[in-house]
Amino acid sequence: MNRQQLSAHTMTKQSSISILLINHSENASEELVTVFRNSGRIARIVRAASAEEFLALLNSKHWDLLISDNQHSEVSIKQALEHLKKLQLDLPLIAISDDQETAREALESGAADVVGHSDHLQLTHAASREITAFNQRRELSEAKQKLSEAEQRAELLLSESSTAVAYITDGMVVGSNDAFCQQFGYGSQDDIDCAPVIDLIAAKDKDTFKSLLKAQPSRAEQSTDMECAIQLQNGDSVTTSLQLSNTIVDEEHCIQISLHSSGHCSADAGMSTADGFSQDYINHRLDSAIVQVQASHQASALLLVRITKLLSIRDQKGLDHAQQMAQEVSQLIKKQLGEEITLAKICDDSIAVLLAAEDADQALNMAESLGKALSGAELETAPNLTLASAVSVLAIDGSVSNAPELLDFLFLNNRKQNDDSVNIYAPPRTRKALGDAKSDDELDSVLEEALEDGQFWLTFQPLTNIRGASGDHYEVKVRMSDADGNELVASDFLQSLNFSNINTRLDRWVLLEASKRLAEQNNKDIRLLINLTPHSLHDESLLTWLGVALKAGDINPESLLLQFQEHDVIDNLSAAQQFAKNLKETGCQLSISSFGYCEEPLNTLQTINPHFIRIHRQYTEELQHNGDAQLLKALVSGIAESGAKTVITAVDHAAVMAQLWQLGVDFIQGNYLAPPGQDMDYEFTDIA
């Protein structure tokens, strides 16, 4: 156990854990407290007595684990998982059930694990595993957020050095750039650092600035803008646009002050600084909101409000009058939604609004309330105008990483809306190819999205038994389509799954999907050879997970043969030996494909003891082209001595059938007999 693993293990064993419980009684809650205490863990368990209390508890604090036994009168395991997905909460759920169908549904719905009611040891081990993984995800998320904040600060100070920036701690200037010093008439940063920031503000605005500076830390991610007279070194005062925002410098919380020449924001936004921000600013705020969602922090929503008659007012009465109307409308929006929102006038008749919203439903409700408030509202700047608007709303879920893309998407859809309408839209998604991913996390995210979008599917190619053995045999192969629906070559997308760490997301999906398809076959005697990646050889939890899934689906383990390519077995021989040993305990069987291509292939059989061997297609091709069967005969003979069944692949011609029969192979497979299909409906005939 390395230092990192030991640290995580110690933390899990010694620190208290917060568990939210969904079950039928308080007695069961007390029993779980005892179970965790006996295992050396202090568990603070809270039971949700109702569906309303469950939702309230989910939002009230951070939890380490969710446990459900599917016996709650109002909240089932499936419903709990749906709430987690809807709220975009990364919280592991362990289901407690002895019912196989319930266990199967829980795993398919996203449960981290399923344990029996009396299996307390497995429960505590599963809890330790999931909490350790959960804490690691938390730490990674926090690290990413800190990195993003550091990168944004560096970008602001280096690439945008023309913007005057200073950092304030306890009312003192603790850092600034040259532009900030020059704005006040100082020659260098040394002249202004450690100075009280209030000394830089003209007397008439000191009290207002003090109030805003004091309130800013409580505004979290929200910034504060004001028109402010600053005090220059020579005694003169100049009015400028000043923006306060919270940030972190050297891991210390502080306030960032950004200065712009007076009117900077209004020139872009068409409204005063007090009433709104520039489009560049709201793009920056959107980027920050996306980062927050991806880090599981405060959720946000983007609204776009189009005043449908503002363009005609501009043409009739001029741009100044239209801008005054826009300012008045922005005040109506703030009155309805609150002063904490961010506004930007992104074109002559449209205002973008960024606000906090827990989910899409809340964002839609807020947008509908705003639409009703604006409809028919009277404006002082246009007393005879019946105000009409079109409001578009989008909950920011982190599926995009580009703020202008969000604005453009919402703007184009808003233009299609009718007057006095409120529409909600799903965020646009930029689908990446597997090969474009630059890290394990990004690759896993792309893979997860592709699975959710149905880009993967399974095919089944029959293996014809020429020795008269019972059972129908199929090889399971995974297929993938690109974003345009075109089928990709399997070797191409599998090579793109070049994770540096263990990742069996695709393998688990293949196993689960194949098991589901097998369960639909009405108890037919069917055996599946399921191709897996070498990552599964190293995943210590895979076989335990598979055992639970097979039990839940009431599937005979002998129906599954997990298949690996020969070179993957040899390259990971130690892991393959342990995997084969553990696999035998599950009742499933092992198969090796593309066999005979490596040097001295028969040596592998002695250490792995597979049940099936699919011989490399090169042997069949040589037999079909030149009729030379000597190498193949020797290989088949060696396999037979080991007790494994032999499968000859790539049978594309009838002429080779007689030779294969004489060689003593057990199964033949190829497009001549039957190509891969999406169903297990091949009519097997006895050709023994």
Assigned domain for 309 exists: yes
Model pLDDT, residue 150: 66
pLDDT at position 442 = 83
Residues 547, 473: one domain? yes
Distance set, CA 414 to CA 289, 311, 326, 350, 515 (Å): 21, 15, 17, 9, 45
For residue 55, CA distances in Å to 296, 393, 534 come to 17, 24, 41
What is the pTM assigned to this prediction? 0.49
Residues 630, 563, single domain; the answer is: yes
Percent of the chain with pLDDT over 70: 88
Q: Among the three residues 428, 448, 473, which one is the final residue of a domain in this structure?
A: 428
Contact yes or no for 228/240 (Cβ under 8 A): yes
Q: Which two tokens stand for residue 206?
A: 């000191």
384 and 295 housed in the same domain: yes
Going by C-alpha positions, the residue among 607, 660, 658 that lies closest to residue 632 is 660
DSSP character for 660? H
pLDDT of 288: 64
pLDDT of residue 401: 61
Look up residue 667 and give its two tokens.
């199964």
pLDDT average, residue stretch 517-523: 88
Is 381 within the bounds of a domain? Answer: yes
Q: Is the pLDDT of residue 547 over 80?
A: yes
Over residues 545-567, mean pLDDT: 93
Considering only residues 326 and 9, tell me which one the structure prediction assigns the higher pLDDT. 326
Tell which wins on pLDDT, 606 or 589. Answer: 589
For residue 156, pLDDT over 60 is answered with no
Q: Average of pLDDT values for 273-283?
A: 55
36-50, 278-292, 342-356, 526-540: segment of lowest average pLDDT: 278-292
Give pLDDT, residue 4: 34
Same domain flag for 601 and 537: yes
243 and 362 share one domain: no
State the CATH number of the domain containing residue 169.
3.30.450.20
pLDDT, average across residues 241-249: 81
Please check whether residue 145 lies inside any domain of the structure: no
Q: Is the pLDDT of residue 429 over 90?
A: no
Predicted confidence at residue 162, as pLDDT, reads: 63
Q: Which residues does residue 181 pair with via DSSP β-bridges, in sequence order? A: none
Amino acid letter, 565: Q
Domain identity same for 186 and 107: no
Q: For every residue of 538-583, which 3-state class applies, written as one string?
A: HCCCHHHHHHHHHHHCCCCHHHEEEEEEHHHHHHCHHHHHHHHHHH
Domain around 243: 165-262
Residue position matching structure tokens 């100070």 = 157
Q: Which of 204-213, 240-249, 263-272, 503-512 has the lowest mean pLDDT?
A: 263-272
Do the domain assignments include residue 622? yes
Mean of the pLDDT values across residues 265-280?
42
pLDDT tens-digit map of 119-146? 888 888 898 898 888 888 888 888 887 7
Instruction: Output the average pLDDT for the chain.
Output: 82
More confident residue, 153 or 369: 369
Percent of the chain having pLDDT more than 90? Answer: 25
Question: In this structure, are 347 and 491 located in the same domain?
Answer: no
Q: According to the model, what pLDDT value does residue 272 have?
A: 37
Chain segment 354-373, per-residue pLDDT in tens: 888 878 888 899 999 999 98
Exposure class string for 48-62: b at 16+ Cβ within 10 A, else e = beebeebeebbeeee
| Residue that has been written with the tokens 């904040």 in this structure | 149
Question: What phi, psi does 385 have (nearest 5°)?
Answer: -95, 130
Q: CA 205 to CA 210: how far, in whole Å?
A: 9
Indicate the pairing of strand 526-531 with strand 472-480. Answer: parallel
pLDDT score of 298 = 58
Domain co-membership, 10 together with 114 = yes
Predicted confidence (pLDDT) per residue in 607-616, tens digit: 899 999 999 9
| Domain-located, residue 673 | no
Residue at 249 is within a domain:
yes
Q: What is the pLDDT of residues 20-49, one digit of tens each?
A: 888 867 777 778 878 887 777 777 888 888
Local confidence band at 297 (pLDDT 50, 70, 90 cut-offs): low
Q: Which amino acid is at 547?
A: G
Is pLDDT at 259 greater than 80 in this prediction?
yes
What's the pLDDT score for residue 175?
A: 82
Q: Is the predicted pLDDT of residue 12 greater than 50, yes or no?
A: no
Most confident of 129-138, 150-159, 258-267, 400-409: 129-138
Instruction: Report the pLDDT averaged over residues 468-493.
Output: 83
Across 4-13, 240-249, 255-264, 537-546, which has the greatest mean pLDDT?
537-546
- At 687, is the pLDDT very low, low, confident or very high (cuts 50, 70, 90)? low
pLDDT at 160 over 80: no
- Considering the domain architecture, whether residues 491 and 628 belong to the same structural domain is answered as yes
Mean pLDDT over 278-284 rounds to: 68
pLDDT tens-place string over residues 590-643: 999 999 988 888 888 888 999 999 999 888 888 877 777 888 888 999 999 999
Residues 258, 292, single domain; the answer is no
Report the pLDDT value the prediction gives residue 271, as an integer from 0 to 100: 41
* Banded model confidence at residue 262, pLDDT cuts 50, 70, 90: very low
Report the CATH number that the domain containing residue 571 is assigned in CATH. 3.20.20.450
Decide if 158 is inside a domain: no
115 plus 201 within the same structural domain = no
- The CATH number that applies at residue 345 is 3.30.70.270
- 651 shares a domain with 527: yes
How far apart CA 303 and CA 290 sit, in angstroms, is 15
Whole-number pLDDT of residue 576: 95
Q: Would you call 26 helix, strand, or coil by DSSP?
A: helix
Number of domains present in the structure of the chain:
4
> In angstroms, how far apart are the furthest CA atoms of the chain?
105
* Helices 319-337 and 310-317, axial angle in degrees (round to 10): 150
Cα–Cα distance between 266 and 645 in angstroms, integer? 78
Q: How confident is the model at residue 159 (pLDDT cuts 50, 70, 90)?
A: very low
The pLDDT of residue 172 is: 92
CATH of the domain at 102: 3.40.50.2300
Question: Is residue 289 predicted with pLDDT exceeding 80?
Answer: no
Residue 688 has pLDDT above 70, yes or no: no
| Residue 658: partners with Cβ closer than 8 Å, 6 or more residues away | none
Q: Domain end: 237, 262, 287, which one?
A: 262
Structure confidence at residue 268 (pLDDT) = 34
Domain annotation covers residue 215: yes
pLDDT at 261: 54
